[in-house]
Amino acid sequence: MTRKLSRRAFLRGAALVGAGAMASACAAPQAPAAPQVVTQIVKETAVVKETAVVKETSVVEKVVEKVVTATPAPAKAVKKVVVRYMCPTWCSTADTRVERQVAFRSVIDSFNSLYGPKGWSVQEIPFDGDAVQLTQQIEQKKVDAIWFNFSEYVTRSRAKQLLALDPVMATVGEDVKKFFPFVQETLLSSDDKKVYALWHNTDTPLYYYNKEKIPTPPAKWNDLVQMCKDIRTKEGGKKYGFVHPFNGWIQMNSGLYLALGGEYLDKTGKPVAFEGKNLEIWKEMFAHYLGLLKNDLVPAGSVNQDQQQMMPDVYAGNVYSFAGNSNYHVRQLKPNLKDAEYKQWTAAPLPYPDKAGKGIYQAGGWMIGAVANPDPDVALAAATWVIHATNETSQSVTNKAGAWIPTRSAILENDQFYKTDPFMQTTLKALQNGHVVPLDPIWGPMSTAIQTALSNAATGKKSVEDALKEASDTTMKEYEALKKK
């Protein structure tokens, strides 16, 4: 990959050319010596004899020989460094969507052009995105930079898989303060408070609504319930004011739990979500959603649906608002509605519990990090690539292509594309109160347990109390198991 032979061949050729050029330049002060000798010979003999020409030639040869001998040696060869960058196919030049191919190619090409004189370049290695496979490649030392889910940040930094970026960031003037507050908090959440990756893109759930049917979006839960009642009373039948996914419910509500004062873990990392006031908050939240089902204010089928499964009712015009991911206007509405129907839709932040006073909204997304490497040249090049791939220009281009949300608020505020998009501006508003779920390993089992508890209560399999008790027991068993590892 370093192509040393071709580099030496290039230097040999360059040395010959350089020697000639240097001879011409360096000999300038001595150049008159040769012509003066020739002129003197001409004056003395009137005719230039062959022997004189031969003698004069030897003088010139000696001058040239002296100059060539004095030519400095060529500069030291630049060390070639190829940053092996492993990323999922869907965020690479290998993606089937042309706009993504072009966007990610532009970022790689700009890096190669900018840092080519230093001998640096990026080699993209697309893969299926499997986290285990990524770890294996890191352990086998086959990659230098990686694209990974934000949820793996603390785990990978604790495993010493990632390189601390702080020194390089300071050198180039990069600062985590340029990112959303929730991004800053996450990036500085490593055990030693160093930055081990930079967050490329994010998302958050929004409240989508048909503005012709719902002129004023509900800001609070009580407003939402009243709107749903009004539409059911007025239209009845299959018409509903709202639908919410019960599968994947936690994504929409993890932040609202915090807004009500809930806590997931204590300072030691122990789960406390099912203790005391926290347990009461879950009961209150469950009661809101179970009430929507019980009172026929959302389609009955939503109890078994995720975000995508609930959308056909929206396309059919039977539902006038829904909770969905922040790119659903691009992913779902625009491809499935006629232009005139699509223009009827807009978005607002998710309605929040009246007692909360505000909404807090879960953020997800993906990061790019440099793999820890003992070779200082590779480490520096990889860290520089991470910063380059997540800078303002790169984020703007690639996030547009992927219909993702940049993690630098300035892009959403100033870039003309994002600035004039009402869905993006709504997302910006929501993410100003964004939060990140706990990055501790226990979050996975805990969130699954909460989701299962809601499903069991919603389908009537268990009472709310029993469902939450089971969630607590499951979570604590998982926690004890994790402590033993």
Model confidence, pTM: 0.83
Arithmetic mean of pLDDT, 350-375: 97
10-47: per-residue pLDDT in tens?
A: 323 333 233 333 333 333 333 333 333 333 323 333 33
CA 131 to chain centre: 15
CA atoms within a 13 Å half-sphere pointing along the CA-CB vector of 335 = 7
Domain total of the chain: 2
- 89: burial class by Cβ within 10 Å (0-12, 13-18, 19+)? middle
Own/partner pairs, 444-447, CB within 8 angstroms, 24+ separation: 445/474, 445/475, 445/478, 445/479, 446/264, 446/271, 446/273, 446/475, 446/478, 447/250, 447/254
My answer on whether 245 and 300 are in the same domain is yes
Specify whether the CB–CB gap between 365 and 201 falls below 8 A: yes
More confident residue, 52 or 100: 100
Under the banding of pLDDT at 50, 70 and 90, the label for residue 75 is: low
My answer on whether 237 and 188 are in the same domain is no
My answer on whether 215 and 244 are in the same domain is yes
pLDDT of residue 290: 98
Q: What Cα–Cα distance (Å) separates residue 327 from each residue in 203, 404, 405, 432? A: 8, 7, 8, 17
Arithmetic mean of pLDDT, 117-141: 97
List the one residue out of 382, 225, 215 whose CA is nearest residue 290.
Answer: 225
123-134: per-residue pLDDT in tens?
A: 999 999 999 999
My answer on whether 162 and 237 are in the same domain is no
Tell me, yes or no, whether 148 lies in a domain: yes
Tell me, what DSSP letter sits at residue 90?
Answer: G
List the one residue out of 129, 196, 124 whose CA is nearest residue 159.
Answer: 196
pLDDT of residue 485: 80
Q: Please report the DSSP string for 23-53 in residue order.
A: HHHHTGGGTTHHHHHHHHHHHHHSS--HHHH
List the one residue out of 311, 252, 307 whose CA is nearest residue 285.
Answer: 252
pLDDT of residue 42: 30
456-485: per-residue pLDDT in tens?
A: 999 999 999 999 999 999 999 999 999 988
Distance (Å, rounded) from C-alpha 148 to C-alpha 366? 6
Under the banding of pLDDT at 50, 70 and 90, the label for residue 76 is: low
Distance (Å, rounded) from C-alpha 320 to C-alpha 232? 11
My answer on whether 237 and 257 are in the same domain is yes
The backbone torsions φ and ψ at residue 86, rounded to the nearest 5 degrees and listed phi first, read -100, 125
My answer on whether 405 and 473 are in the same domain is no
Distance (Å, rounded) from C-alpha 3 to C-alpha 82? 11
Tell me, yes or no, whether 128 lies in a domain: yes
Distance (Å, rounded) from C-alpha 401 to C-alpha 403? 6
Tell me, yes or no, whether 26 lies in a domain: no
My answer on whether 250 and 357 are in the same domain is yes
The backbone torsions φ and ψ at residue 202, rounded to the nearest 5 degrees and listed phi first, read -145, -175
- Return the residue matching tokens 């709202």: 242
pLDDT of residue 119: 97
My answer on whether 162 and 243 are in the same domain is no
- Return the residue matching tokens 């003309």: 416
Tell me, yes or no, whether 140 lies in a domain: yes
Q: State both tokens at 447.
A: 């969130």
**Average pLDDT value for the chain:** 88
My answer on whether 227 and 313 are in the same domain is yes
My answer on whether 397 and 373 are in the same domain is yes
Q: State both tokens at 105.
A: 């190619």
Specify whether the CB–CB gap between 41 and 48 falls below 8 A: yes
Tell me, yes or no, whether 269 lies in a domain: yes
Tell me, yes or no, whether 49 lies in a domain: no
Tell me, yes or no, whether 4 lies in a domain: no
Domain extent at residue 408: 81-203+364-428
Distance (Å, rounded) from C-alpha 437 to C-alpha 249? 14
Could you write out the three-class secondary structure of 180-230?
Answer: CHHHHHHHCCCCCCCCCCEEEEECCEEEEEECCCCCCCCCEHHHHHHHHHH
My answer on whether 127 and 238 are in the same domain is no
- 201: burial class by Cβ within 10 Å (0-12, 13-18, 19+)? buried
Q: What Cα–Cα distance (Å) separates residue 447 from each residue in 51, 91, 159, 437, 439? A: 100, 27, 23, 9, 12
Q: Which are the contacts of 401, defined by CB distance < 8 A and separation ≥ 6?
A: 97, 99, 100, 102, 103, 104
pLDDT reading at 197 higher than 70: yes
My answer on whether 225 and 329 are in the same domain is yes
- What share of the chain has pLDDT > 70, as a percent? 84
Specify whether the CB–CB gap between 57 and 94 falls below 8 A: no
CATH number reported for the structural domain that contains residue 397 in this entry: 3.40.190.10
Tell me, yes or no, whether 470 lies in a domain: yes
8-22, 153-167, 198-212, 391-405: which range is least confident on average?
8-22
